[in-house]
Structure 1
Amino acid sequence: MELFAELNAWHWGIIAVVLIIFEIFAPGAFLLWLGIAAAVISILMIFMPNLGWEAQFVIFAIVSVLSIVIFRQWRNKNPEVSDQPALNRRGAQYVGRVFTLEVPIVDGQGKLHVDDSSWKIVGEDCDAGTKVRVTGVDGVVLRIERV
């Protein structure tokens, strides 16, 4: 515990820089907030150099949790706007498109060949050659309706 008793503003500043650098190499918006909390402790230690190590760690933990919670609430209220909202959601890219069945739908299930892949589909029974529109996606299953 003697090691912790020697913590000062420089130590917390170095910890802050290291955590922020780790965030650069492993982005996930988590280490950034821990780095900011360490920076807060570093600044606090400049004004309160006799602050005990126990209090330093408690304040670090509280500031870390608060900063993460505040960021997540802010991010939920301000979602990132994308010019390609269906990117990396392949099934969502097909909603609204019309396709011609190559294989009939039997008992509400079938397969649909789209571009270079085959999708499981659900919808009313249809013969091969029927035009269908994708109305939604349930995981890896496309919901379709007859056009």
Structure 2
Amino acid sequence: MITYLQHLSFWDWVALATLLLILEVFGAGGYLLWIGLVAVVVGALTYLFPELPWAWQFLLFGTLALLSALLWWRHQHRTSRARN
């Protein structure tokens, strides 16, 4: 398993993004859309910097995914307050 992680390529991130975006179609409320786009961003960074260690890739993905989920939640919360 560790060998696979050490050789992650941008195609792995693109595949994850595709899976997340397909799951978003089934109604996740927008969260998987943004996390899928984060996977695309990490994939692009992996393409530009192929020697980026897998631990940094996961750290970047986790941080950006949390940030995007919090920003989406904040946007949804403001929208629901404006409607009431």
- TM-score band, normalised by shorter chain: 0.7 to 0.9
User: Could you tell me how far apart the structure 2 residues matched to 1:25 and 1:80 are?
Assistant: 26
Structure 1: runs of 5+ lacking an equivalent = 86-147
User: Could you tell me how far apart the structure 1 residues matched to 2:29 and 2:79 are?
Assistant: 17
What are the Cα deviations for residues 39-91 of structure 1, in whole angstroms up to 9, with x where unaligned? Answer: 11011112111100000000000000000001111222233877xx8xxxxxx
Question: How many correspondences in the alignment?
Answer: 83
Q: More strand per residue: 1 or 2?
A: 1
Structure 2: runs of 5+ lacking an equivalent = none
Instruction: Give the AA of the match of 2:62.
Output: A
TM-score by length of 1: 0.51
What are the Cα deviations for residues 1-40 of structure 1, in whole angstroms up to 9, with x where unaligned? Answer: 0011111111101110111101112433222222111111
User: Could you tell me how far apart the structure 2 residues matched to 1:42 and 1:18 are?
Assistant: 14
User: Could you tell me how far apart the structure 1 residues matched to 2:32 and 2:64 are?
Assistant: 13
Residue correspondence of structure 1 range 37-48 to structure 2 within 5 A: 37-48=38-49
Instruction: Give the AA of the match of 2:51.
Output: N
User: Could you tell me how far apart the structure 2 residues matched to 1:2 and 1:33 are?
Assistant: 29
Q: More helix per residue: 1 or 2?
A: 2
* Deviating more after overlay: 30-39 vs 53-62: 30-39
Counterpart of 1:130 in structure 2 is none
* Deviating more after overlay: 72-81 vs 4-13: 72-81
Q: Which has the higher contact order (CA 8 A, sep 6+)?
A: 2
Residue correspondence of structure 1 range 22-61 to structure 2 within 5 A: 22-61=23-62
